[in-house]
């Protein structure tokens, strides 16, 4: 579903968006955990290409700020399920060659762990903010707000909760600004960083009294 002032991500824009994601997460602790080999970290863009292509094929709600991809957000509906065919079409078989076997194993274990925690902690149904990334050249210019506010407005109107995970305390503070509440901190074994798990309830609907006023 289109969102105001945002561009839906398409297959033709995946490569450009993947560069934005790779630049945004280049120095993130999760990248160092998933790709411990420094020689393979420049291939992070291929992991983003795969993930974003899969998001488009699975019909997740993926948006970019403009065709220049200053920033992007990927939202997944909690009851959506992907398909093995789309995993293959998105390019998964190439990932071990490009990012290494360690990446495959750690990505799998991490995703399984946080899928279980989402099932435990997140209200059903909800929208899961699977990815939010802004090109470092454009950070601090309001692009995160541009990506977040239209979806949160829609979720409020649909009375739908939201859920996000972040391994960055600064980002956790940003999400609190958008109405998310911390529900748990978790340490992925061997990762060396803390994950902040957060939920957001829809804003209360205006009362009839407030509408009249």
Q: How many CA atoms lie within 13 A of 124 on its CB side?
A: 7
pLDDT at 143: 96
> Does residue 2 sit within a domain?
no
Residue 55 tokens read as: 């998001």
Classified as helix, coil or strand, 7 is strand
Indicate whether 165 belongs to any domain: yes
d(CA 189, CA 186): 9
Which range of residues forms the domain containing residue 203? 7-212
In a domain, 100, yes or no: yes
Closest CA to 56 of 76, 71, 41, 35: 76
Q: Give the span between the Cα atoms of 119 and 28, in whole angstroms.
A: 25
Let me know if residue 1 belongs to a domain: no
5 Ramachandran zone, left/alpha/beta (phi>0; psi -120 to 50) = left
Is the torsion defined by CA of 78, 84, 89, 90 positive or negative?
A: positive
The whole-number mean pLDDT for each consecutive block of 10 residues of the chain, a chain of 213 residues, reads: 84 98 95 95 97 96 96 92 91 95 96 95 94 96 96 96 94 96 94 95 71 52
pLDDT at position 203, please?
Answer: 85
Number of H helices, E strands in the chain: 9, 7
Total number of domains in the chain:
1
- CATH (domain of 50): 3.40.630.30
**What is the distance, to the nearest Å, from the Cα of residue 92 to the centroid of all Cα atoms in its chain?**
18
- State the residue for tokens 């990815």: 131
Domain presence at residue 185: yes
User: Does 144 map to a domain?
Assistant: yes
CA distances from 145 to 119, 134, 157, 203 (A): 27, 11, 18, 17
Q: Which residue has the tokens 């980002």?
A: 171
The per-residue pLDDT for 210 is 55
The H or E element spanning position 134 is strand 126-134
Q: Tell me: the pLDDT tens digits for 127-176?
A: 999 999 999 999 999 999 999 999 999 999 999 999 999 998 899 999 99
| Order of strands across the sheet that contains 126-134 | 7-8, 61-64, 71-77, 126-134, 161-166, 194-200, 181-187
Residue 22 lies in a domain: yes
Q: What pLDDT is attached to residue 101?
A: 95
């Amino acid at each position: 579903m289109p969102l105001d002032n945002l561009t839906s991500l398409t297959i033709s824009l995946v490569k450009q968006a993947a560069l934005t994601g790779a630049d945004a997460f280049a120095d993130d602790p999760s990248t160092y955990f998933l790709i411990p080999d420094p020689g393979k970290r420049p291939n992070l863009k291929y992991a983003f290409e795969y993930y974003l292509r899969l998001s488009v094929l699975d019909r997740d709600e993926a948006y970019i700020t403009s065709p220049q991809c200053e920033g992007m957000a990927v939202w997944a509906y909690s009851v959506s399920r992907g398909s093995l065919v789309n995993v293959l079409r998105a390019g998964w078989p190439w990932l071990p060659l490009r990012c290494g076997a360690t990446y495959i194993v750690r990505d799998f274990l991490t995703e399984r762990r946080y899928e279980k925690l989402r099932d435990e902690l997140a209200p059903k149904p909800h929208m899961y903010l699977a990815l939010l990334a802004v090109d470092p050249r454009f950070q601090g210019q309001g692009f995160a707000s541009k990506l977040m506010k239209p979806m949160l407005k829609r979720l409020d109107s649909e009375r739908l909760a939201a859920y996000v995970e972040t391994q960055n305390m600064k980002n956790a503070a940003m999400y609190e600004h958008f109405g998310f509440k911390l529900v748990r901190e978790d340490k992925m074994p061997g990762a060396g960083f803390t994950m902040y798990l957060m939920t957001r309830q829809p804003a209360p609907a205006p009362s009839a009294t407030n509408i009249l006023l």
